[in-house]
Chain A
């Protein structure tokens, strides 16, 4: 490659990028319309360099591109197989660290963490969840703070000091116990000088700082990242809803396989969505034979099942038995839907001791006659927590969504029937 010595250029993935001395790799990349994944970087503020998603291979060393100044002839690799894998791991780390439940988060579809997961093709958490105990502060009349979703990007801190000149937020604690703290005597947002008009109210990339009353202005499914990849539109906040695209058409299935399905701690919504494949089900039945499933009421899996679709998380002893039965009977296990992938709604009890849950439901609740915890031998026992299924058995594939759309079922089943590695296109990969 011939490069002019006079103009300042460096390369990203082999492409020559001009830069002004003093600019970081990230700044130059943005100007050249190249997307380097990031969460804590925002061109309006001092770079922080903490999320590490923008790490690139820079002259052979891994460095944060938001904190590294561009230099003449520097060689930067951004889109490599290795970096994509590492970034995927970072996103999974952020997901298990906090409590990120997309199906009931009002930022879903406008969330930059979620959007990055979509872009990187993250379908599962991989690691065990931490079930962090964090607070929700709804004291402010216009704003809500759900610390369960904080990813420590520190954008609120920077915008509050650099733009609002208020210093509302700070980080306290260390290591995994670090927390976002509010600058007020009570520690509550209502007692701070925070206003909904502040820059820091409009900066959170995830669903931690939420403006009350506008969460569902745009319906789920029609939000920014439901339609557009973060690499195409960049790290944007809500307000840019775009019209839905038409569902893709997949090819016809070919080979016949044995399929089993079940629902653990779930709502059967994923099964309903499965049925939404409508007339395509007839085509599907040409190629699959249904073994155990609530759809046919067969109670055990054939020992040689090819596919097991599991909806719901693991909340009790029966779920464990069913899971083990599926793992033993099925060659491939697919975790279907949010509850199977991260515990979903049932796992909201995870921050409460199981004894307190039982006491509240059966002993202390309102309107109970003859309060008593049921102890019939037929009843399964509750586990201490509700677990995603990958924490109990090995899972081969993950089909996210709450529920996953019928087209996603159709696509993943067809891929497997065709002997292909299942892959979800962007419009079928969502967590809500």
Chain B
């Protein structure tokens, strides 16, 4: 076995104290080091961590960015969201593959490079985007591709590529109370520490803050349930795994508002009595990792993190966990499974994480944005936050706006703002539809543009994708449907089998083979998947196709055959294959 690899494994196992819950972290290091997970590494890990070989394989096969087979020295993933498609992703991909003389998903013969698709990388405001050896590179043009290819063919290490190539713009387009605030590090904590933790909880409660990741659960209630749990060992987890296609607001917060985030997590720790926090950072945000580590370090040096924060009884520190490619990790209990070094399968709930979370202990899991707002609320007061909002709604929300708009980027808006006002803000014209909340959200047509963004009517974890009249909405549904199939964890029957069936039906319609009975099947599957799936992924997976059928039947009609029934496969093609074989071989 490669000595350097063995040394790396020994070192990693030592760093993580032989704790098998860190298996995913160790595998990521090996993947970066060897561009795959070699068989010997699996065996050595199995021995060192005392974990069975299939359990290690289970992880490699589950997470998108881990591989048995070597990837290229330059491992390129192209973001495959519908917004990337609209900004020319397919053309750029063909050009890149042509230039590199490489086929999608197949390492080049010399092992230099691989090119593959991946789910949305959170760069919808600056697509088409790729990840090169884990680092984001945005706004790809033919020119940039040419330059990239030159570096690759010249064997220039990614670290030596121009730094400016890896700049990721924040694109903050509209600021509200959070994005405008400049909290001095430690201000909110100082204020909280001066009083009883209960006062802080009351303040959060008064503000009406709700979870900004999508579910909209009342933050104070969640923290209180955790505080009231019997077990004294408690955890604060930040869900920085925003994987919903079209959302990228957490990327901006992690880049430019990390102090607020950490402040918010520390406040939560003070309130619930936790000593350890974890930021679960999605793989695609690798480029933020170093900066976040530095921020943590600065705060430790300033006595804002670590033991006896500001010389009080409060001791709390934060560790960063990296994901390895799995959308379902955005579901909080799946995220916990991933943190514990397993496949990200959503747990059976109840019990909820507030009583049985990380390592079975009471855990608060909140989105990046929620913690940022919590810090703001403690610093500026509950009323300041609650007064935001229109038409009887209270509070703010950050939207990631992308697609056919003048200014893509993030917008902090008061809750209660109608869709049409949001569209005015971002300069959208000739709008045909808006997908609010990503593929799992809702497709909104002009007749519904007076609906307002709020937790109760039109909820979104942040994604807001705009489509003008030149777009074929069925293409969105196809893209979303395939996304769900690729990301299904496979735990429950309706989602595992249903996402595949729905994809096959969508493809059948798209290739002009759809018949009326197929539409019945789509409805039937949607019903079963929606009602019976274990988590939100399966529940929503058939919805984009059905919603497109309901709201834009013309896109279906255009491609459907006008018959009741069509075979499940291309009969002519199947026959032609047989004719070819017989003709060639019999001669």
Contacts and interface: CB of A to CB of B under 8 A. Distances in A.
B531 interface: yes
Interface residues of B, number: 56
Contacts of A151: 493
A86 B527 contact: yes
Contact of B575 (A64, A381, A391): A381
B383 interface: no
B474 to A, nearest CB: 21
A173 B64 CA distance: 10
A320 B586 CA distance: 23
Nearest to A130: B500
Contacts, number: 166
A218 interface: no
B486 A175 contact: yes
Given A50-B492, A62-B531, A128-B504, A387 B497 contact: no
Interface in B497-552: 497-501, 504, 517, 521, 524-525, 527-528, 531-534
A49 interface: yes
B348 A49 contact: yes
A393 interface: yes
A121 interface: no
Interface in B568-583: 568-569, 571, 574-575, 577-579, 581-583
A185 B490 contact: no
Contacts of B565: 393-394
A401 to B, nearest CB: 23
Contacts of B494: 52, 90, 93
A106 interface: no
B485 interface: yes
Given A52-B493, A90-B528, A174 B54 contact: no
A181 B490 contact: no
B578 A52 contact: no
A47 B534 CA distance: 14
Interface string A161-193: 000000100111111111101110101000000
A394 B52 CA distance: 49
B581 A174 contact: no
B567 A52 contact: no
A160 B430 CA distance: 60
A418 to B, nearest CB: 26
A127 interface: yes
A67 B568 CA distance: 37
B67 to A, nearest CB: 13
A176 B578 contact: no
A330 to B, nearest CB: 14
A384 B574 contact: yes
B487 interface: yes
B61 interface: yes
A424 interface: no
B282 interface: no
B531 A86 contact: yes
A93 B494 CA distance: 8
Contacts of A182: 54
Contacts of B489: 174-175
B57 interface: yes
A375 interface: yes
B61 A174 contact: yes
B491 interface: yes
B582 A358 contact: yes
Given A317-B575, A381-B579, A373 B585 contact: yes
Contacts of A281: none
B230 interface: no
Contact of A89 (B54, B487, B524): B524
Given A93-B494, A176-B488, A170 B578 contact: no
A349 B86 CA distance: 42
A382 B61 CA distance: 36
What interface size band does chain A fall in?
A: 35 or more
A167 B52 contact: yes
A354 B52 contact: no
Contacts of B574: 383-385
A93 B578 CA distance: 30
A69 B61 CA distance: 34
B445 to A, nearest CB: 28
A97 interface: yes
Given A93-B494, A176-B500, A355-B581, A394 B586 contact: no
Contacts of B55: 170, 183
Contacts of B568: 128, 387, 391-392
B579 A89 contact: no
Nearest to A49: B348
B58 interface: yes
A175 B575 contact: no
Nearest to B64: A174
A374 interface: yes
B343 interface: yes
B493 A93 contact: yes
A393 B54 CA distance: 43
Contact of B62 (A130, A174, A373, A381): A174
Given A50-B491, A127-B521, A320-B571, A384 B577 contact: yes
A31 interface: no
A170 B52 contact: yes
A15 interface: no
Contacts of B583: 375
B582 A373 contact: yes
A358 B532 contact: no
A110 interface: no
Contacts of A187: 54
9 contacts: A171-B343, A175-B485, A187-B54, A354-B578, A375-B583, A381-B579, A391-B567, A391-B569, A394-B564
